[in-house]
Chains A and B, each alone.
Chain A
Amino acid sequence: MGKLYAVEIVYRGIFQKKLATNISRAIVLAAHLDGKPGISFGRYGDSPERNGIPAKNFAIVATDEQTLQEGMAKYEPKEVDITISVDDTLCKGVESWAWYGLQPINKLTKPGGTLIVTSMEPAEKLIEMAHNRETPYNLAIVKGSRSFSGLWVYKDDHTDVRVLGAIAKVMPELVSLDAMKKTILQEWKDPVKVASAEKSYNRVTKALVQPGQGNPETPYQFELPKWHEMGEGVAIPCIPVGKTVEDPVTHVLGGIRPDRNPTFKKFSTRTMRPVVNFETCIKCTLCWLQCPDTCFDVTPEGLYDANMEACCGCGVCEAVCPVDKCVTMVAETEFADNGSQWETWRKDSTGYLQWLNQKIESRPERSHGFRFKGQYQEQVGEMLQIAQES
């Protein structure tokens, strides 16, 4: 039997669908130039993709057809040589549309395999975000802010080819730089994109992640019941309505914390989260009312506390809040847990406000896709500059 190579591309549904497809297609096309057959496919269960909800593409390449078939006999690869995370916040774990529980980003990465992340963050921060494991793996960073666009208009900021250049560096036996460059020229007919790929090839950094390094949490899981343990008639119980909220200081009960779907939490969809200034809040209700994900608990004093297990980071609460900097969306990389902001504030309001201001100040620019015609042309310039400098 020959050799089999598998690459997974973990990406944000819809926002990065085109990006991920570009990457996995080019891997297969380049490997083909090197004389290796391959296939490229998206996880069927992730479809229909939803904005932001993590999804996966795979590229499988082999030294010969028979070996490739061995790889294809599985629904999806059980382990991969390279995991590509085209958004660094995915390093916190992936709860896809199609399965229950949270998967560590490095779950399928082979011992000694490589996790390639596109990020502006330093390696240490990314390593802390990813779950720890028993075997070592490599972390490679392609420097750049997250590249998001939408279903119809693609933001061609070269993230695709820069990742491809990094792959050729990390695993030349999968695809040579030469084949990668030829493929890029064939696909995009743009020598500048070839140059971007080559720069990325030369500059990609790699760090070894030791066993035990990273987030020690055990991600939540879900066990599938047997057929006779399931209810009949395809019926399942609804969610209970919820309970009152207890003030952590005064122990006063009031407000409501709606019960939430326990098997799908949605926080891994988020690339930014709202932080709330409870002291400037005028209790207008709009964030709570307009949140499509029913994220806000109502506190006994009538404030609104966004539940960080449920929030998917759409930003609507910021958009509707009438008070300046009362709700602010901050990049998810800035946070290490999903605790209640309101409880923290109740216990130590001065400390909380300090924390809040620091978060608001450090918030990086956020782009979640199309806002106006002509916007991407403006943004691509910035990204290309990073590509030149990095």
Chain B
Amino acid sequence: MATLAPAVEEKKGGERTALITGSEAIAVACQLADVDVITAYPIRPYDTVMQYIAKLVSNGEMDCEYIVAEGEHSQFEIVKHASAVGARVFCGSSGVGWMYAMEALTVTPALRIPMVCMVGNRALDDPGAFGTEHNDALAVRDLGWMLTWVDSGQEALDSTLIAYRVAEDRRIFLPCAISCDGAFLTHSQSLLQIPSQEQVNEFLPRYNRADLLLHPDNPITVAPQANEDWVMEIRRQNYAAMERTYGVIKEAFADFERIFGRSYGNPFFEEYMTDDADVVLMGMGTLSTPVKVAIRQMRKAGKKVGFVRLRWFRPFAAEELAQCLSRFQAVGVIDRDYSFGSPHSGGVVAGEVRNALYPGAGKKPPVLGFICGLGGREVTIPDVEKITESVYQAAEGKRQPLTQWIGLRE
């Protein structure tokens, strides 16, 4: 296989190590997955992935239809139809671009199209801003998209392969978006393990649209207008498919570990220094880096703090998470998003975590919400310390505001 960035080290069996960005990592995953149709449209920061793919195509390293659309709505509609005729597809966007595609995004899961795409998380206009916020990807959280957040280039690459495997499983046939925080992941290079084609082929079967293939050999009518006699039943089918994702994701991670020799432990969330923790912080994406550093520092000062990084937001592993969180005295959820007017005016993840805890049998630690790092603002070590301080107060039974803005000029 040809190389994209200078390989640092060739390993046996075609595996190699390379110094590349998260966007390049996803491009490499698309190449390994032999994607058939890719649509691009420029918007920072996701579009770096499309720049890398364009190079792969022009260098003959990747064989696909590479289509530059005239807008994101078309970008997603094109791959939706390509997938319907049996092609493996890749797409992506950021911020308002993702929102521009919204109509296409709503119909994709409804049609059971296993599209895989990258969201380079970006603040929504107005004002125009390049920095990270998670509101773009979160906007589709109720529609049947699988949503995963990664925090490293390696995880971006691996998650892309896993996303194809899960999305294209006939039991699922739902789209999956891989969220990568702008700048931190999309624009910084790190050393990654790139698997061999043989490994990928073993892990990832060909996309087979089977009974849903739109082709003269399989004459079907797809998505006829439905009245109230049918819509509930159709929604119920998608509900069932999303329910099945828990099991299929676990299967995929187990196979991934077997074939690639890299393990992620619990597929749904990563636990960091939680074994003996009194309190934990939670969050998604690359804020894991400052949080982990802060935790190590705070531990030196005797504070037993842990971190739970949510990897899959949809499906949301509510039961497992509730079980995990019941071990701690208080939880602080850091949201890189907002949900104005929501319960306690908190962020989206904080709300979901409270929701996950509510019906559970176990102990229910207090959950504090922190809105932090909006618009790509740095989440600093002192920010994390401040958050931890408040979470400790809550653990001790002291009343704390349920939502706090951290890192804001006040």
Contact = CB atoms under 8 A, between A and B. Distances in A.
Chains A and B touch each other in the complex, with CB atoms below 8 Å apart: yes
Interface of A: 45, 98-100, 224-228, 230-238
A234 B111 contact: yes
B212 A227 contact: no
A233 B233 CA distance: 12
B139 interface: no
A98 B220 contact: no
A354 to B, nearest CB: 44
B229 interface: yes
A234 to B, nearest CB: 4
A237 B221 contact: yes
B229 A224 contact: yes
Contact of A235 (B222, B228, B229): B222
A100 B224 CA distance: 15
B221 A236 contact: yes
Given A230-B237, A234-B222, A234-B234, 7 more contacts: A45-B227, A232-B112, A233-B111, A233-B222, A234-B112, A236-B221, A238-B219
B2 interface: no
Contacts of A228: 237, 240
B1 interface: no
A236 to B, nearest CB: 5
Contacts of B301: none
19 contacts: A98-B227, A99-B229, A224-B230, A225-B233, A226-B233, A227-B232, A227-B233, A227-B234, A228-B240, A230-B230, A230-B234, A232-B173, A232-B212, A233-B222, A234-B222, A235-B212, A235-B223, A236-B224, A238-B219
10 nearest CB pairs, A to B: A227-B233, A238-B219, A233-B112, A227-B236, A234-B223, A233-B212, A235-B220, A235-B222, A236-B221, A238-B221
Contacts of B248: none
Nearest to B239: A227
A251 to B, nearest CB: 30
B228 A45 contact: yes
Given A45-B228, A235-B220, A236-B220, A230 B233 contact: yes
A235 B226 contact: no
B221 A235 contact: yes
Interface in B206-261: 211-212, 219-224, 226-230, 232-234, 236-237, 240-241
B351 to A, nearest CB: 29
B219 A232 contact: no
A45 B111 CA distance: 23
Contacts of B233: 225-227, 230
Contacts of A45: 227-228
A329 B220 CA distance: 36
Contacts of A238: 219-221
Nearest to A238: B219
Contacts of A237: 219-221
Contacts of B221: 235-238
B217 to A, nearest CB: 12
B50 to A, nearest CB: 28
A30 to B, nearest CB: 32
A237 B220 CA distance: 4
B82 interface: no
Contacts of B227: 45, 98
A305 B224 CA distance: 29
Interface string B153-175: 00000000000000000000100
B211 A234 contact: no
A231 B233 CA distance: 10
A98 B230 CA distance: 12
Nearest to B214: A235
B110 interface: yes
Contacts of B211: 231, 235
A98 B241 CA distance: 28
Contacts of B222: 233-235
Nearest to B171: A232
A152 B381 CA distance: 70
A234 B224 contact: yes
Contacts of B110: 234
A260 to B, nearest CB: 14
Nearest to B173: A233
Nearest to A241: B219
Contacts of A233: 111-112, 173, 212, 222
Nearest to B222: A235
Nearest to B241: A232
A71 B281 CA distance: 54
Nearest to B170: A232
B278 to A, nearest CB: 46
A100 B228 CA distance: 12
B144 to A, nearest CB: 12
Nearest to B235: A227
A227 B220 contact: no
B174 to A, nearest CB: 10
A232 B109 CA distance: 11
A99 B230 CA distance: 11
A99 B227 CA distance: 9
Contacts of A232: 112, 173, 212, 237, 241
A234 B107 CA distance: 11
Contacts of A99: 229
A238 B219 CA distance: 5
Contacts of B229: 99-100, 224
A226 B228 CA distance: 14
Contacts of B220: 235-238
A242 to B, nearest CB: 13
